[in-house]
Structure 1
Amino acid sequence: MRSLLTSTLLISIATGAVVPKDPGHGQGQNKKLNVQVGPRPYFLVEDMDEGPLKKKLQSCSEGPFKVSNFSISHRGAPLQFPEHTRESYSAARREGAGIIECDVAFTKDKKLVCRHAQCDLHTTTDILARPNLAAKCTTPFTPARNGTPAQAKCCTSDITLAEFKTLCGKMDGYNANGTTVAEYMAGTPPYRTDLYATCGTVMAHDEYLKLVDGWGLKFTPELKTPEVEMPFDGYTQEQYAQDLVNAYKKAGIKPERVFLQSFLPADIFYWIKNEPAFGQQAVYLDERVDTPEGYANATASIPDLAKKGVRILAPAFFALTKLDSNRNIVPSEYAIAAKKAGIKLIGWSFERSGFLKTGGGYYYDYVKEVINNDGDMYTVLHALAQQVGVMGMFSDWPATVTYYASCFGL
């Protein structure tokens, strides 16, 4: 491979070839992209119960498959690649995701990086295998002993950006029974794989920005709730929220290409008030729905959120559907209230439930009675797209959603 690359470079130099320049902010970079969905969507379709939806999806088997904003990359493509790494983002792009996510945390020197949580380095990177950095962790590794599970807690705020960039991304997971660092790190769930987890390239937020911009895609950065007391060494929550917006303004990215996210209402309201061009499509990630009481309160609060300028809500997708008296999947009270208030909806996160043979767990909670095989994923997605009318779906394997979106022209 190296010899071939060298030969190609020599030929280019000899013929005076010129490398094309980026036409500016990534526009047009996906026109020639050959979107590939791989075998998983076909596996899911074949696993579906017989009926019109299965026939429709089967009729789309040969594509064409296109980049779609309906297909939102959740942490890249972490079903098979280490999350929030260059390799994971590249896989998501190839699978047709039109919007790519970077969960944003900050380092000790207050630089923004892509991590799902501020304190997940012990499960998503190899930091524990690097003694000089492991020693800086908030909670150093303690092996399992006498029935007490192994423990560790390593945060982005424990290390500098330069130190963060030396880490390798790994598949998220840990073994609570580990008696050594190696055993603790070997905890990848059985429905994922370590095949591509050789050393994922971790990303600073600015690197993610440039990468996605070069592809001409849209951004959805999530401001992660800090796990350290704020202000952090003088760094306030407001400055944290502003720094995220400033990165896009500095890069000349148009606000309509950016879907800011946060679980904290205060962040959403801050952007609406102080950065309205970006705030008007900020996504309020609504975790209040996780309990019956919280679900009821969240549903009741939707009109008030609309009055305050919230235009997009994104709960876990179980909250957007329910079963009617005939066991048909229909829009939930929450989804109906959002539509009535003129608020758009996004669901999260497809391909995160593992095997669906026993109901699908958390993400299928309100329809679990009719979930009994992996193919039922498409039945639920169809209800979310056609009945609820979600504007997009986060997925750990964007190809699954891209296949559906291309088939239905979304």
Structure 2
Amino acid sequence: MHTLLTSGLFFGLASAAVIKKDDYGYHNNWHVEVGVRPYYLVDNMDAGPLKTQLQKCENGPFKTSDFVVSHRGAPLQFPEHSVEGLHAARRMGAGILECDVAFTKDKKLVCRHAQCDLHTTTNILSKPSLASKCTRPFTPSKDGKPADAFCCTSDITEAEFKTLCAKMDGFNPNATTVAQYMDGTPYFRTDLYSTCGTLMTLNDYIKIVDSFGLKFTPELKTPQVKMPFDGYTQQQYAQDMIDAFKKAGIDPSRVYAQSFLPDDIFYWLEKEPKFGKQAVYLDERVDTPEGYANATASIPSLAKKGVRIMAPAFFALTKVDANKNIVPSEYAIAVKKAGMEIITWSFDRSGWLNKGGDYYYQYVASVINNDGDMYTVLDVLAKQVKIKAIFTDWPATVTYYASCFGL
């Protein structure tokens, strides 16, 4: 018995020695897992060659892929831009992970989808000392007017930001109390993993993703306060984001800096060309018919200025032809003709598709009839539009497809 106990103790100690954990207590020994959602979607597809091929891939192997970009972590089920969401995305095979970059009152850089979303993505309203600092503190719904609050990263310091918990993005406009206001998670998401998500600074994010050995896509968020902010200029903001990666010793080839503002892209092309050459122009001009036409016409001139990667929402990359087939759009064709690449957004960010989908499926709604058609659209994006990568709110869904087709 003594021998068995001694051997068992030795084995246990040896095993513990090789199971390393990061600063947040996560094990570093891991493999890609896709869970049940991809199988649900494949089963839901209409019969056809694509469904048959995807079914053949049910046993993997599933691999990390740069085709899969984690959009805000894994916000279909985890609070966006939380440490927990980032780790979930890594386990689901995302090869590139995102941090939307905003600045605090003391001009430190943190991960938030928008500069002024703390009232819907964190518990700031439940902390009176911080809630009172919001640009617009909470006011309840009354006399037909919706409840209101407006809390920005620039309202508080980095240290104060770090005391907050991340929650699922959402709010209740009919709320008469703070607790009711914070309870507004969309119907197709969940609060199961949202007890107190861990917020990240840009430096935290860089350290975590670097420890994964994966790639980065930081987005410089368009400020929601007047710039310069207390002397802080847009150019300094853009430079500070790049400087964080340089200070951490990150090779520029691992970084896909993003912005909706073309001047940010041009700044990086001029001042930080090693980063600028793969900067991503997030193109929201396509949201209106007139904007779509203007955006399509502008592609050649953007290419001449050095922009190499365009990134519209994926609805703008496809259309339905006369035979009711989903095919590349005029915008997609123009980008490829100009020799540019396409990264698009955001998969798994819609509710049920049995009624034709929403914003992301607006140009193909007439031929969408079930959730499985997500893969029908993705297949066109990958094989006909030939996108470089796609942002997703649940990386496992795209990882399944990417692994199946060797992307």
For the criterion TM > 0.5, the same-fold answer is yes
Q: Does 1:408 align with 2:405?
A: yes
- Larger deviation: 295-304 or 356-365? 356-365
Distance change (3 Å), C-alpha of 1:148 and 1:20: closer
Aligned to 2:110: 113
1:83 maps to: 80
Aligned length: 396
Q: Cα offset for 1:21?
A: 11
AA matched with 2:235: E
Residue 358 (structure 1) aligned to one of 355, 359, 362: 355
**Are the structure 2 counterparts of residues 8 and 381 from structure 1 closer, same or farther at C-alpha, using a change threshold of 3 Å?**
farther
Matches within 5 A, 1:18-97: 33-97=30-94
Q: Deviations over 1:247-294 (max 9, x none)?
A: 111111000000000000000000000000000000000000000000
Shift of 1:34: 1.2
| Alignment partner of 2:309 out of 312, 317, 324 | 312
Which secondary structure state, in structure 2, belongs to the residue aligned with residue 57 of structure 1? helix
Show the counterpart of 1:262.
259
Aligned to 1:165, which of 159, 162, 166? 162
The amino acid across from 1:324 in the alignment is: D
Q: What does 1:237-316 align with in structure 2 at a 5 Å threshold?
A: 237-316=234-313
Inter-CA distance 16–138: structure 2 relative to 1 (3 Å threshold): closer
State the alpha-carbon separation in 2 of the partners of residues 404 and 18 from structure 1. 32
User: Equivalents in 2 of 1:362, 1:251: separation in Å?
Assistant: 38
* Most deviating of 358-367 and 279-288: 358-367
Counterpart mapping for 1:315-394 below 5 A? 315-394=312-391
Q: Alpha-carbon deviation of 1:16? A: 11
Residue 222 of structure 1 aligns to which amino acid in structure 2?
E
SS in 2 for 1:243: helix
Offset at residue 332 of structure 1 (A):
0.3
Q: Against the structure 1 CA distance between its residues 132 and 321, is the aligned structure 2 distance closer, same or farther, given a 3 Å change threshold?
A: same
In the other structure, the counterpart of 1:222 is 219
Equivalent position of 1:25 in the other structure: none
Instruction: Give distance in 2, aligned partners of 1:368 and 1:134.
Output: 42
Q: Distance in 1 between matches of 2:10 and 2:89?
A: 28
For 1:89 and 1:8, locate their aligned partners in 2 and report how far apart those are by CA, in whole Å.
34
Residue matched to 1:4: none
Cα distance in structure 1, aligned partners of 2:15 and 2:39: 44
Q: Which amino acid in 2 is paired with 1:153?
A: F
In the TM superposition, residue 20 of structure 1 has moved relative to its aligned partner by 7.2
Partner Cα distance (2:37, 2:156) in 1:
38
Distance across 2 between alignment mates of 1:342 and 1:352 = 29
Q: Structure 1 158/9 Cα, relative in aligned 2: closer, same or farther at 3 Å?
A: farther
Aligned: 1:102 with 2:133: no
What is the rounded CA distance, in whole Å, between the counterparts of 1:195 and 1:126 in structure 2? Answer: 16
1:363 deviation in Å? 0.3
SS at the partner of 1:226? coil
Q: Which runs of 4+ in 1 moved over 3 A?
A: 7-12, 14-22
Rounded Cα–Cα distance in structure 2 between residues aligned with 1:54 and 1:343: 30
Tell me what 1:186 maps to. Answer: 183
Return the offset for 1:9. Answer: 12
For 1:235 and 1:268, the matched residues in 2 are separated by: 18
Deviation of 1:33 after TM superposition, in Å, equals 3.3
Q: In the TM superposition, what whole-angstrom CA distance separates every residue of 1:31-76 from its partner, at most 9, and x where no partner exists? A: x631000000000000000000000000000000000000000000
Secondary structure of the equivalent of 1:253?
A: coil
Describe the SS at the equivalent of 1:366: coil
> Partners of 1:359 and 1:159 in 2: how far apart?
42
C-alpha distance in 1, partners of 2:371/2:12? 49
CA–CA separation in structure 2 for the residues paired with 1:99 and 1:171: 22
Listed one character per residue, the Cα deviations across residues 149-171 of structure 1 (whole Å, up to 9, x for unaligned) are: 00000000000000000000000
Structure 2 residue identity aligned to 1:245 = I
**Cα displacement (A) at 1:8:** 9.1
CA distance in 2, matches of 1:335, 1:17: 51
Q: 1:244 to 1:10 in 2, by over 3 A?
A: farther
TM-score where L is the length of structure 2: 0.94
Q: How does 1:137-148 map to 2 (within 5 A)?
A: 137-148=134-145
- Cα RMSD after superposing both structures: 2.0
Question: How has the CA–CA distance of structure 1 residues 147 and 252 changed in structure 2, closer, same or farther, with 3 Å as cutoff?
Answer: same
Q: Which amino acid aligns with 1:200?
A: G
Counterpart among 112, 123, 128 of residue 131 in structure 1: 128
Shift of 1:358: 1.1
Match of 1:231 in 2: 228
For residues 341 and 16 of structure 1, the distance between their equivalents in structure 2, rounded to whole angstroms, comes to 54
Identity of aligned residues (%): 72
The one-letter code sitting in structure 2 at the alignment partner of 1:64 is P
